[in-house]
Chains A and B, each alone.
Chain A
């Protein structure tokens, strides 16, 4: 017990508290002579090289017993490596100091040593400067009105503009620093205290003590509460934020072996569910923020992505809504192609995900699905840094579907024929029992998917800057292989230049970036995971050596391939000009262009010759360009005790996507398939063109009262070209407020509680992700495929709905954020309730109108509500070991609240009021008939027949939740990170069966080992129905029964990363400042209830009721292991 307490004392030592105790301030009165000398020497020292070590973090162990302070300081200098400068006269005055023998930070040690003296210290690079505490020395000052001038700088000596400077005694007295960090203020009392506050920096209080000139240095906030968080059109801190925002940073991303930055968010962000279609290079991901995906709505659920201010949601008006680059192109084995496959994760500084109304309403009609803000890395002021990061590794499939072996398969098939009373023969589909080998068996999964993918990744960057300019130039090359036989895979290259410039007077600044990416992929047309259920004795070749086509020959998959070349350019500039104190004009200008070319070859030799196949080439070329112009004005002013921050601006955005889809046939030779010129007939299937224009006025007012009470109001008036004249413009907005109650007097006594914030927001956002031109009637050219007898055709394209308008989502968010033990434990709990109404959907009308439906706003309400938890803890921290844990957990419930006319609508059989919109109505499977082995179902209403209307019940939905756990352990030079992702839900227990319709064993199709548990003879206790080659109507109910429904939860060991930093003294001689060797593993192991799928985490778009709950067999995310080296010069 005693030991435990001691351990806890040591382990839970209030880490952050160190910062508050250290007097970081450099206080100086110029009129004091020694101070002036010190200032000169300091400015000299400041230009020397900084070591990057912090006296708050560097640990030493010294013992001093009744020795002189000078001797003690010598010990500190020897152990810590910091050079200590001090005025000897002052230090020599103290001859008897003591410190016991314990491991402490340098700062802690100095605190103890200087306790009771009138000396203070501060760190400057690798120097520690001891000086006289002038404030204390001048404790008694004549109280009189005083005029103070000063300058506020950051820890890199750069002036900070806009710092709030406020009198502690009279909050009405306040000002802010100008562009050069200067301020002046008149105070009635020379004994007042000034408070300095600025985003991203620790606030400081400075006793004036008669000084008339003050230099203030603000320390960049290191605690996660005060780190800058990016929000729409601005930035804040986690402490001050009134909205719900979750973030990850480059540090988190660097631990993962990923080719798409969105993959790095999987399992790391509360309220965000991300599913990848498959694990092949370039594959699309679907991001679902707080249940934005709703099957009842036809509007898309794609979040608004913004990269450095430029929207990157490449939705091109297709239906169903998708931002896949090939939405109008063709599909290879990797299916949809994610635009983010073009963004190198290495270039990303941070990703902030905005979730509630307060955070998203400033994006108005585009914000209802949440907003993902991506900020790329920038150059830092200081020495020119050269960094390279290379890794090489392998990938493989970590889990194969357990299939029956040859004998078990043959037994199944024999049972099937026996049950039907038939004798297998060539004529009744029994080749596997009569003609194929009864002994030679192939493991098809190993044969076609058992390879090893080789991956190489290399990033190099140069960055640097001075007071006026900064730049970062980086370049990434990535090569990804596949596990398929043959040389498939992708190569990508990206280059980025970020540069910033500030005018000499700091009034004008520009940050600009240009990013260019290129990716080429070469993949089969078909995802080879389809081979899993081939009969084990299926012969690939006939005896004469030709391909066997008794079933689709999988070797043909290797002859038809899709190649794709993607290029991506993103350029943007953020300009700002400070017109006068507190008033800044800004403009974001951005342009992006993404182009995807695909060639899909389908040679006749890869098709069954029995159907007189022809060779064809599909050629697609799709292009998406996007520009945005956003002039803004920002006004900041102290009003009363608080700071008012107002921003107003306007957005002009255009998205133009165009594409062509050509299909060539009539090739003289398959060798010509690479070119359309070889085709004698070329048909234009699409020549897609989609123009979207968007215009808005937006504004936000934020008022921050002493960092304690913060209110935030946003308003946006939006116009979207997707709506008719009457409904083109809409108003959106939100209000949010937060109260940091730990700053109140009553909370000061709650010593365990270091931070407490209540916040809430309410507002409305919109969704306009629908096809263009739906509000008026059009004729559309039908193209050469639709020509009539050689004449061009114009087809009526839609039923006009001039009343089409936004889908609206009202978002309510209430949150409690707590910090315990000096913020070593941070807990954020959000309750949210999103109600979507005016739902954009295809409304059913009687087809005697000439159409079955038209796109309209449905007067239904769908609710998503849930809880999100984010827990960050520092479990252990001492000089050698630091262990932190981040846990996130989300519960989301979807519910249809209202749907007038549901019973007569299209959706009468799909939805139930009060139930989730992905409700599953299933028959209850009561096992095989003991006599016949046919499936039986519960006759709920007891009328003697099983019917669709009366005998299904609401399948148990369970209590779905999802989340992740990330642990980071730093021990000396080692860093170990590991992350789990989990998902609990009900769903299909065996993905290979979810669409089972025909009896087991009725065709050339192997089954999973689960099927060994089937009815075989009267009295058999098997769970699954009997095998048979005869179809029986009772099977038709099987897919819509609960025979395959149950717990489909999984836990995935997503990431393990081990870094080792090479000792500094080894690498110094090579001019290397930092070198790390790392070993990373991705998707290492999955514990899944459902074993009959490669990866429960990948699912094809539209295959399941919701993202992450799909049931189609898709290519898994590979288990990848890489070894890498990261060096900085």
Chain B
């Protein structure tokens, strides 16, 4: 017993002294590995599959932040397209075209979250470039997707705010004091990114084989067509739209099959985990009936008058609900309000109908009335309407503008941007809204951002 005691003591003394001596090694001790659910930046891009997961954060974050939905709501409310039924003060500012520079929806959804996505894109692009573990094919694919998403995001920033800072540095804080870049510079960056994406991306969709939830070559071309149209480069717009239409990948299905996750018309969709479009569920409340409040967003009063008689889109894409004796027109493009009703709807971001109308508008601008009519009629025919009667450039452009209104309502701010880029915002919205001012075509730069970055300037009228 005594012996054991002594040897134990000796061991103890030895251990204690040793421990005190090994203080020099404590630097190592406090170096910890990352959590099992985490990877360092370099590890995240050390293999094709890890890098794919990292790049997918760009898509999924859009959905979790609800940012892409506000691209739809802000423009829809600001134009003659949507109304908010919940007397939300912040959204009311959009409807009245009197958005305050302190509006937190602007700050979060239209400014901060898009820039967060841009940060993710920048990080991916820079990490892929230096990655040694990835295949060239994956590098091309993922760089193309990141560039496409960066371009898509800058497209909304430049259209909502005009000149915006071009945050391209992969070290986020380096972008903190950038001033606003000229609109043309932003568009040049968008075009450059989309051209890169177009050449890097394959025609086939990556990921889920039946869904079109990731950008491919044609998504880049489709967005490029839109950007060329917006920048009045009609020849290129026509070319790019033509590439998409003639790719053989896309068709014009029945009106009730456009907004599902297997839509043959879709060029690019945001997937969501529930299989319910977030935008779609904001347009619906169920069960229908007078005791249930209307959905958050309904069509602007009088919007349904824009449909020509016999337009199936009014029948298939619009319905109504009566609450407190008021009739609300609901957007019925997406059919599902909750998972009890099904789980097969993704947000449709780009679809081929737009490419026909881009091509038609570009052709009209290029004085190619016949081709313009042909492309316009593709969309009209699907809606059950007869061929267009417009034949001059002017009537065609008017017809196309209205066709875009009744085709794309409730989708990603098309109507708002159309009114602005065609210079008709003052005439159309000025007639509808007493609170309209012509400087309302651009949203205010959030006040807090100007406080934090004095290099930023405010838009006129704010």
Contact = CB atoms under 8 A, between A and B. Distances in A.
B186 to A, nearest CB: 12
A790 interface: yes
Interface stretch (B53-61, B195-203, B220-228): B53-61
Interface string A781-812: 11011111111111111010000000000000
Contacts of A687: 37
Most chain B CB atoms below 10 A, which of A503, A648, A791? A791
Interface string A672-716: 000000000000000101111111110000000000000000000
Contacts of A787: 60, 273
Interface in B249-291: 271, 273, 286-287, 291
A201 to B, nearest CB: 28
Contacts of B208: 789-791
A850 interface: yes
A795 B61 contact: yes
B57 A695 contact: no
Given A612-B338, A779-B39, A786 B60 contact: yes
| Size bracket, chain A contacts | 35 or more
Given A587-B12, A650-B19, A694-B30, A791 B37 contact: no
B106 to A, nearest CB: 11
Contacts of B17: 585
A697 B21 CA distance: 11
B453 interface: yes
B248 interface: no
Contacts of A780: 35, 37-38
Interface string A216-234: 0000000000000000000
Contact of B172 (A577, A772, A851): A851
A810 to B, nearest CB: 24
A797 B37 CA distance: 11
Contacts of A614: 339-340
Contact of B60 (A503, A575, A648, A782): A782
Interface in A576-629: 577, 579, 585-587, 610, 612, 614, 629
Nearest to A783: B37
Contact of B64 (A587, A773, A784, A786): A786
A449 B36 CA distance: 45
B16 A587 contact: yes
B438 interface: no
Contacts of A795: 57, 60-61
Contacts of A575: 12
A1070 interface: no
B30 A848 contact: no
A649 B41 contact: no
Contacts of B38: 773, 778-781, 797
Interface string B204-233: 000110010110000000000000000000
B35 A633 contact: no
Interface string B284-303: 00110001100000000000
A695 B26 contact: yes
Contacts of A503: 5, 9
Nearest to A723: B30
Contacts, number: 217
B160 to A, nearest CB: 14
Interface stretch (B72-80, B109-117, B389-397): B109-117
A721 B32 contact: yes
B178 A848 contact: yes
A781 B54 CA distance: 9
Contacts of A508: 5, 9, 12
A478 to B, nearest CB: 36
B30 A728 contact: yes
Interface stretch (B119-127, B131-139, B353-361, B425-433): B119-127
Interface in A828-848: 844-848
Interface string A851-869: 1101000000000000000
A1037 interface: no
Nearest to A648: B20
Contacts of A729: 27
Given A848-B176, A850-B119, A788 B271 contact: yes
B460 interface: no
Contacts of B286: 612
Nearest to A948: B102
B172 A850 contact: yes
Interface string B317-331: 000000011000000
Contacts of B29: 652, 693, 695, 719
B374 to A, nearest CB: 35
Contact of B56 (A507, A720, A793): A793
Contacts of B61: 795
Given A779-B39, A791-B207, A585 B16 contact: yes
A854 B271 CA distance: 30
B32 A693 contact: yes
A610 B23 CA distance: 65
Contacts of B32: 691-693, 721, 772
A650 B23 contact: yes
A777 interface: yes
B130 interface: no
A502 to B, nearest CB: 11
Contact of A427 (B23, B123, B164, B324): B324
Given A789-B271, A799-B173, A847-B112, A719 B30 contact: yes
Contacts of B16: 577, 585-587, 631-633
Contacts of B57: 779, 782, 788, 793-796
A696 B19 CA distance: 12
Nearest to B291: A610
Contact of A847 (B9, B111, B291): B111
B15 interface: yes
A577 B37 contact: no
B34 interface: yes
Contact of B273 (A777, A785, A904): A785
B173 A631 contact: no
A577 B123 contact: no
A517 B457 CA distance: 62
A671 interface: no
B167 interface: yes
A440 to B, nearest CB: 25
A145 B16 CA distance: 42
Most chain B CB atoms below 10 A, which of A428, A577, A648, A776? A577
Interface string B355-388: 0000000000000000000000000000000000
Contacts of A631: 15-16, 19-20
Most chain B CB atoms below 10 A, which of A631, A633, A792? A631
A776 B60 CA distance: 23
Nearest to A799: B172
Contact of A848 (B117, B175, B207, B451): B175
A794 B119 contact: no
For the complex of A and B, 4 pairs with smallest distance between CB atoms: A850-B119, A789-B271, A847-B112, A846-B453
Interface of B: 5, 9, 12-13, 15-17, 19-20, 23, 26-27, 29-41, 43-44, 50, 52-54, 56-57, 59-61, 64, 107, 111-112, 115-120, 122-123, 164-165, 167, 172-178, 207-208, 211, 213-214, 271, 273, 286-287, 291-292, 324-325, 338-340, 446, 449, 451-454, 456
21 contacts: A508-B9, A579-B13, A585-B12, A585-B13, A612-B286, A652-B29, A689-B35, A697-B26, A729-B27, A778-B41, A787-B273, A789-B59, A791-B56, A791-B207, A793-B60, A795-B61, A847-B107, A850-B116, A850-B118, A851-B116, A904-B452
Given A577-B12, A850-B120, 6 more contacts: A427-B325, A631-B15, A789-B213, A795-B60, A796-B119, A848-B175
Interface of A: 427-428, 503, 507-508, 575, 577, 579, 585-587, 610, 612, 614, 629, 631-633, 648-650, 652, 687, 689-697, 719-721, 728-729, 772-773, 776-782, 784-797, 799, 844-852, 854, 904, 908
